[in-house]
Amino acid sequence: MYILENLEPKKVFKFFEEISLIPRGSGNERAIADYLVEFATQRNLWVNKDNNNNVIIKKPATKGYENSKTVILQGHTDMVTEKNSDTIHDFKKDPIQLYIDGDFVKARGTTLGADNGIAVAMALAFLDSNEYKHPNIEALFTSEEETGMFGALAVNEQLLNGKILLNIDSEEEGIFLASCAGGIRQCIELPINYVDVKKDSISYEIMIKGLCGGHSGQDIDKELANSNVLMGRVLSEIDDIIDVNIISIEGGAKDNAIPRECTCKISIEEKDEDKFLSIINECSNVFKNEFRVNEPNLELCVEKSSIVQKCFDTDTTKKVIATILLIPNGVKAMSLDIKGLVETSNNLGVIKIKDDVVKFNCATRSSVLTRKKMLISEMKILANLVKAKHSVSGDYPAWEYKEESFVRDVFVKTYKDMYGKTPKVDAIHAGLECGLLIEKMPYLDMISFGPNISGAHTPEEKLSISSTKRVWEFLLNVLENLK
């Protein structure tokens, strides 16, 4: 029995549920790639899998479409692996636990993987059917999109003949994307100097939780709280009044997700306990007031912790606090060309300790290359000031808007014909693989679209059932019109 078997379109939801059984966090795509190869082999379709677990499946055109431009259906197989702190789930072996809530498909306590499993499911449903009119189809399934678009970087364009690319990785029905931001990952690594904990000290664990979280691109302008930044503020308030030493700190899970939780263990002198608790109470009131509208479930709480032998020395503690507070976070600039579009942003997504180093991982985005370089310079200067190491990875280009686009015109006309209204053509402050793919294949005419998905990159992720049905029907009409 499929949980989603009574949903329409049946094949789309059937394949979505099947791939939800396969663990496919970024970097763990071999099983889903093998599944795709087996799918194609069983249907006698041309298939290729590369060493990066990218998969290409080809399907010949139907009668009358043999001379039409080949269309690439593209999405990524990996998903963000986030879960609630009280959820027991191993993303390397456990299937996603799906359930239906009204018009939505959701997951129990974890990310759903509709980003971008719905693209995979739609492509498979189309490849599995013989009832639709269409040009030659090349389904391109890429890997490791969420951690740096490494799959798209490794795509062998010589295997593709497509001139039109439909990226099914957008999350608002009726909004077609024709441009996206570029981005890069940045990391500051601060060495830890440990000292013995003072004899008259006590330990506390500070916890920030209950935040909404969100996508570090699409949700960065929603004034959501960042748990890592809030922890920096708490530590700064404590350090201003009493002596404090950090024992450990950990916040966030992915640099491209706005972090929802952060935990920090500290050591303070026993005589300062009342002052400490007073500071925590004051910070809690401040945060609840500041974020009363958009973070109603925000919690700042503390509990006594077991005694430890070592803690960060005072200099390292102060450097950690300074780094958190000085890392650029949130919206840095709005577009002057497109009203309401974020141009440049940075997200302090992860703080963690590894090999006696505190790592601060950020996702930087901008549709203007020089602004992206400016943020890199700011992070480098900060790293130098606190005597830390700075590094970058996963650099990907922006996808620039084209004044003329055949596929965009077809999308707009098809939408008008189906719904009697004009869709919105927009840009997005998030990375899409379109930027990398058009660098490899500059002749591509491309557009990005998809059904309504909210809460991507968080355990609140949900996929609209009715929107999925409409977008599927729209895709079928578009492919028929691309003659």
Residues tagged active-site: 78, 145
Half-sphere exposure of 458 (CA within 13 A, CB side): 21
What is the greatest pairwise CA distance in the chain? 84
Cβ-proximal residues to 416 (8 Å cutoff; 6+ apart), any chain = 422, 423
Q: Are 175 and 426 in contact (CB under 8 A)?
A: yes
The helix or strand, by DSSP H or E, that contains position 230, with its residue range, turns out to be helix 227-241
Return the sign of the alpha-carbon dihedral for residues 262, 265, 266, 271.
Answer: positive
d(CA 280, CA 290): 15
Tokens of 234: 């708490």
DSSP 367-412: SSHHHHHHHHHHHHHHHHHTT-EEEEEEEE--B---S--HHHHHHH
DSSP 438-469: HHH-TT-EEEE----EESTTSTT-EEEHHHHH
Query: Quick check: helix, strand or coil at residue 150?
Result: helix
d(CA 198, CA 307): 11
Q: Are 115 and 79 in contact (CB under 8 A)?
A: yes
Q: How many CB atoms lie within 10 A of CB 224?
A: 19
Q: How many CB atoms lie within 10 A of CB 439?
A: 15
d(CA 348, CA 258): 8
Q: How many CB atoms lie within 10 A of CB 430?
A: 25
Q: What angle do CA 262, 82, 392 make, to 5 degrees?
A: 75
Cβ-proximal residues to 373 (8 Å cutoff; 6+ apart), any chain = none
